[in-house]
Structure 1
Amino acid sequence: MSHDHDHGHDHDRTVKPMVDEITDFEVLEIALRELCIEKGLFTAEQHRHFTEFAENIGPTPAAQLVAKAWLDPEFKALALTDPITACKEVGVDWLAPTGFGTPSDFVALKILEDTATVHHVIVCALCSCYPRPLLGNSPEWYRTPNYRRRIVRWPRQVLSEFGLQLPAGVEVRVEDSNQKHRFMVMPMRPDGTDGWSEEQLAEILTRDCLIGVALPTPGVTTNVITATHPAANPI
């Protein structure tokens, strides 16, 4: 009796095999990828190579570009007038970042220079367009409707939620990325960095600074996680 009871008890607790579930978007990605490979647009090896490239890039090249521009006026002029060429000097070739083909998000890049009276911040109000060859994959918050819709309407409020309080005399310009254009912010060089090397300057140029939701600050070398509080105008 005891044996039968134990057997039944164990049977009741048996966990059913897990079933892998995929989303509709994943199904579409698989179908499109296999079709492209079948049509000869790229090989499976090229797809693997690009996927690994996309997963490993980060904001380091962008930080190096701005740091170099802070120290070299001629390079700064090049970065602001011909940013695609300037990118090559920090190891990023937008036309062929992986050594084959053209990335799907390349058309045009513009670097936005902050001044004492103008502060830039970037967004993609429609989806999540982002200068990936320079900044890597976009942060999750950049892709949320909460950021995309609100930064356009209430930029100062949203920036304050990131911990960035700008003086009233500073104009905030929101640049909307789209299918054809990508933007990156060149913030002002902060006080207290005289005599710093390019490597030292690059360390304080975090991803958030290059998006425009933070300012480079001596001693701050990572993206700051600010305390979360309710938004006044949530969407």
Structure 2
Amino acid sequence: MTSSYDSKKITEIHQHLHSELPSDPALRVKALESLLVEKGMVDSTAVDAWIDLYAEEIGPKRGARVVARAWTDPAFKARLMADGTAAISEFGYQGHATGHLVAVENTDKVHNLVVCTLCSCYPFSLLGMSPGWYKSQEYRSRAVRDPRGVLKEFGIDLAGDVEVRVWDSTAELRYLVVPQRPAGTETLGEEALAALVTRNSMIGTDRHLKAGA
């Protein structure tokens, strides 16, 4: 199905959104999709395909591959830390959501946490669909005011001597947390290592990855 842009239709849809869509975000999205499909502006099959692509095919798998390469290749890790955008382009990963990518590394004494305080900017081309909590007002505000409290709710109880660094994403700047490599994984290859990397660990709400997890 071929969709075409019609400014008059878009104006009508915009007015409809403000007058009739429900307040719940999930219901608003569904209502918006139904309205656009009804008016011939969107192909529902294409929408489903994109959702499947980011939820299942891309998901956090791309980011996990980048992390695994950083764990196993010191030269790549140096390039990633120096220029994240250029480094991930070696995988063919490019796009607006990662056009200005900064990689930050967890260590024994540093833990990194990513948030977007203004909206929900997120490197979706690396991590797939953003989790609901990442977009919530509570996370966006508390991650800055009380990062240790937020991390504790995710099961991360940091020692007092571990520094927490909070990074605020913007429309032009995205962050990727490089988690620490789990102990006991010295013999694993990149593919097996990538399977250990979680989406949350690349946001910073997961810290202790485990071999065989």
What TM-score bracket applies, with the shorter chain setting the length? 0.7 to 0.9
Q: Contact conserved, 2:81 with 2:102, CA < 8 A, in 1?
A: yes
The CA RMSD measured in Å over matched residues stands at 3.0
The residue aligned with 1:204 is 196
The residue aligned with 2:127 is 135
The residue aligned with 1:12 is none
The structure-2 alpha-carbon separation of the partners of 1:180 and 1:29, relative to structure 1 and needing over 3 Å to count, comes to farther
Asked if residue 183 in structure 1 is aligned to residue 179 in structure 2, the reply is no
Question: 1-side partners of 2:200 and 2:52: how far apart?
Answer: 23
Given the alignment, which residue of 162, 165, 169 partners 1:173? 165
Residue type matched to 2:90 in 1?
A: E
What SS does structure 1 have at the residue aligned with 2:107? coil
The residue aligned with 2:82 is 81
Question: 2-side partners of 1:70 and 1:116: how far apart?
Answer: 15
The residue aligned with 2:156 is 164
Question: 2-side partners of 1:22 and 1:107: how far apart?
Answer: 33
Question: 2-side partners of 1:181 and 1:129: how far apart?
Answer: 8
Alpha-carbon distance, 1:169 to partner: 0.6
Residue type matched to 2:61 in 1?
A: T
The residue aligned with 2:67 is 66
Tell me whether 75-84 or 24-33 shows the greater mean CA deviation: 24-33
Question: 2-side partners of 1:52 and 1:122: how far apart?
Answer: 25
What SS does structure 2 have at the residue aligned with 1:76? helix
Quote the sequence identity (%). Answer: 42
TM score, norm. by length of structure 2: 0.74
What's the CA shift string for 1:165-188, capped at 9, x where partnerless?
111111000101112111110112
Question: 2-side partners of 1:91 and 1:60: how far apart?
Answer: 14
Structure 2 residue ranges without an equivalent (≥5):
1-19
What's the CA shift string for 1:132-191, capped at 9, x where partnerless?
110011111111112111111111111011001111111000101112111110112122
Tell me whether 206-215 or 81-90 shows the greater mean CA deviation: 81-90
The residue aligned with 2:10 is none
Q: Contact conserved, 1:61 with 1:91, CA < 8 A, in 2?
A: no
Structure 1 residue ranges without an equivalent (≥5):
1-20, 38-42, 96-102, 222-235
Question: 2-side partners of 1:106 and 1:72: how far apart?
Answer: 21
The structure-2 alpha-carbon separation of the partners of 1:106 and 1:77, relative to structure 1 and needing over 3 Å to count, comes to closer
Q: Contact conserved, 2:127 with 2:199, CA < 8 A, in 1?
A: yes
Count the aligned residue pairs. Answer: 186
Alpha-carbon distance, 1:217 to partner: 2.2
Alpha-carbon distance, 1:124 to partner: 0.8
What SS does structure 2 have at the residue aligned with 1:204? coil
Question: 2-side partners of 1:86 and 1:60: how far apart?
Answer: 16
Higher Cα Rg, which structure: 1
Tell me whether 24-33 or 173-182 shows the greater mean CA deviation: 24-33
Alignment of 1:4-15 (within 5 A): none
The residue aligned with 2:205 is 213
Question: 2-side partners of 1:50 and 1:89: how far apart?
Answer: 24
Residue type matched to 1:86 in 2?
A: A
